[in-house]
């Protein structure tokens, strides 16, 4: 946990004029803040900017309360971590949900401090007293806010990484457990019919394939974190056949799930066969896992003049996300979940992240759309 400054470190001269200025000029401070380089880095769309405005205004109110520390005996907000930390932690979560890094979080908070000081200094006339006490106190408050925000940001990131490792361990344990059980049966059964041996061998092969898939995910995530991305080797192939194959494999795994498939072929294009099949599989399997099963999952692959349009649409069994694009970013997804206080999270969306990276590696793009209770993934791939 971070440590805020002690009461002895805090200036004791109150600065009510600065506090009033921050409250009165919150809108002007926000506009000046957005003009500073890095201030709005990573923010995309009106909804994200609205969230930033709300959190900036909330943080400025806490800062103003801390500056206006008139009665230390009753209100030591400037030296008390609770109020300032809560505002800073929500600010950090908002940055996470918008996909900003630790460096960007530091830069935007420094930009906010700079905006406050610039506007305040511009408002003072030459006859005004030197605002040294106000500057010292404001710097101290922003330092404490930055420490709280960074501490919370790092804890949320570490918790997300821990959940990611638990998910991979769970996914790997299942096929390995199946292999272990099957080998025990083979060892303990001396006289098995050939058909039974073939059946057990098929089970081992299927479990081994699932284990390899998990290890491939681990490798892909490592490559993405190293900045290498996913490497593809495109060849001319029938994409519709790959789409139908992925759908057939998932139908065998989810026999009770209805599927509406529109992928008449052949549809030719230059793609990495294994990777594009993996992207199709990941997107369809995510829909299968999260649909309420009352309606069929709708999958289509259409050939446009300059692109292929692959879409997966399903009636979601989960509440519609506040930020559909965060579904492809596990850390943003987890931060949004923490911010909404909905309890334990069941899905980080690792398979969606990998699907997106595969499509981006093919110079395509993928988006998520919410229409009431229906969720749609739409990928556009150039040909």
Q: Which residue has the higher pLDDT, 244 or 211?
A: 244
For residues 229-256, give the mean pLDDT. 87
Contacts of 183 (CB under 8 A, 6+ apart): 204
- Is the pLDDT at 11 greater than 80? The verdict is no
Instruction: Give the span between the Cα atoms of 32 and 115, in whole angstroms.
Output: 6
For residues 236-243, give the mean pLDDT. 91
For CATH 3.30.565.10, the residue range(s) in the chain are 235-382
Q: How confident is the model at residue 220 (pLDDT cuts 50, 70, 90)?
A: confident
Q: Which residue has the higher pLDDT, 360 or 17?
A: 360
Q: How confident is the model at residue 12 (pLDDT cuts 50, 70, 90)?
A: very low
Q: Which of 34-43, 232-241, 340-349 has the highest mean pLDDT?
A: 232-241
Name the pTM for this structure: 0.61
For residues 307-331, give the mean pLDDT. 77
For CATH 1.10.287, the residue range(s) in the chain are 161-225
User: Which two three-digit tokens encode residue 34?
Assistant: 């957005």
- Specify the CATH number of the domain 235-382: 3.30.565.10
**Under CATH, to which class is 161-225 assigned?**
mainly alpha
Q: What is the pLDDT of residue 346?
A: 65
Name 259's bridge partners. Answer: 297
For residues 322-349, give the mean pLDDT. 70
Instruction: Give the span between the Cα atoms of 300 and 306, in whole angstroms.
Output: 17
Instruction: Give the span between the Cα atoms of 275 and 210, in whole angstroms.
Output: 16
Q: Which residue has the higher pLDDT, 51 or 61?
A: 61
Q: How confident is the model at residue 131 (pLDDT cuts 50, 70, 90)?
A: low
- Is the pLDDT at 116 greater than 70? The verdict is yes
Burial class (CB in 10 A: 0-12, 13-18, 19+), 27: exposed
- Is the pLDDT at 10 greater than 50? The verdict is no
For residues 263-270, give the mean pLDDT. 86
User: Which two three-digit tokens encode residue 350?
Assistant: 């690792």
For residues 80-97, give the mean pLDDT. 68
For CATH 1.10.490.10, the residue range(s) in the chain are 7-159
Nearest-CA neighbor of 136 among 73, 70, 84, 66?
66
**Under CATH, to which class is 7-159 assigned?**
mainly alpha
Mean pLDDT over the full length of the chain: 76
Least confident window among 14-18, 261-265, 374-378: 14-18
Q: What is the pLDDT of residue 218?
A: 72
Do 7 and 72 contact (CB within 8 A), yes or no? yes
User: Which two three-digit tokens encode residue 84?
Assistant: 């300032």
Alpha-carbon Rg for the chain, nearest whole angstrom, is: 27
Quote the Cα angle for 262-268-272, to 5°: 100
Residue 149: CB atoms within 10 Å:
28
How large a percentage of the chain has pLDDT more than 70? 77
- Is the pLDDT at 316 greater than 50? The verdict is yes
Q: Which of 9-18, 185-194, 247-256 has the highest mean pLDDT?
A: 247-256
Q: How confident is the model at residue 191 (pLDDT cuts 50, 70, 90)?
A: confident
- Summarised one tens digit per residue, pLDDT across range 295-304 is 889 999 998 8
User: Which two three-digit tokens encode residue 314?
Assistant: 């399903």
Q: What is the pLDDT of residue 149?
A: 79
Do 273 and 349 contact (CB within 8 A), yes or no? no
For residues 243-249, give the mean pLDDT. 89
């Amino acid at each position: 946990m971070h440590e805020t400054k002690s009461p002895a470190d805090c200036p004791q001269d109150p600065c009510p004029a600065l506090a009033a200025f921050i409250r009165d000029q919150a809108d002007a401070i926000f506009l000046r803040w957005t003009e500073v380089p890095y201030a709005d880095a990573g923010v995309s769309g009106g909804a994200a900017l609205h969230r930033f405005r709300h959190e900036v205004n909330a943080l400025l109110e806490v800062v103003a309360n801390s500056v206006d520390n008139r009665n230390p005996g009753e209100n030591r907000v400037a030296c008390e971590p609770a109020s300032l930390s809560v505002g800073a932690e929500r600010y950090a979560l908002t940055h996470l949900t918008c996909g900003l890094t630790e460096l960007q979080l530091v830069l935007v908070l420094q930009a906010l401090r700079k905006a406050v000081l610039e506007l305040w200094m511009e408002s003072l006339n030459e006859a005004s007293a030197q605002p040294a006490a106000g500057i010292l106190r404001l710097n101290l408050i922003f330092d404490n806010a930055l420490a709280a925000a960074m501490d919370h940001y790092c804890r949320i990131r570490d918790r997300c990484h821990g959940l990611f490792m638990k998910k991979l361990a769970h996914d790997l344990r299942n096929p390995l457990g199946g292999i272990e059980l099957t080998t025990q049966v083979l060892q303990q059964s001396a006289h098995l019919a050939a058909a039974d041996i073939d059946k057990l061998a098929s089970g081992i092969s299927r479990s081994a394939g699932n284990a390899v898939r998990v290890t491939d995910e681990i490798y892909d995530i490592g490559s993405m974190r190293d900045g290498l991305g996913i490497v593809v080797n495109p060849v001319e192939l029938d994409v519709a056949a790959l789409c139908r194959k992925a759908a057939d494999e998932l139908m065998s795994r989810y026999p009770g799930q209805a599927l509406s498939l529109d992928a008449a072929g052949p549809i030719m294009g230059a793609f990495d066969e294994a990777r594009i099949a993996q992207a199709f599989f990941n997107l369809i399997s995510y829909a299968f896992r999260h649909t309420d099963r009352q309606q069929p999952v709708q999958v289509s692959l259409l050939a446009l003049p300059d692109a292929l349009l692959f879409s997966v649409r399903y009636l979601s069994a989960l509440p519609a996300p506040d930020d559909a694009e965060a579904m492809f970013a596990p850390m943003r997804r987890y931060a949004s979940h923490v911010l909404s206080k909905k309890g334990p999270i069941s899905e980080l969306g690792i398979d969606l992240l990998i699907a997106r990276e595969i499509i981006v590696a093919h110079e395509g793009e993928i988006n998520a759309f919410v229409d009431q209770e229906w969720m749609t993934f739409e990928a556009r791939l150039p040909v």
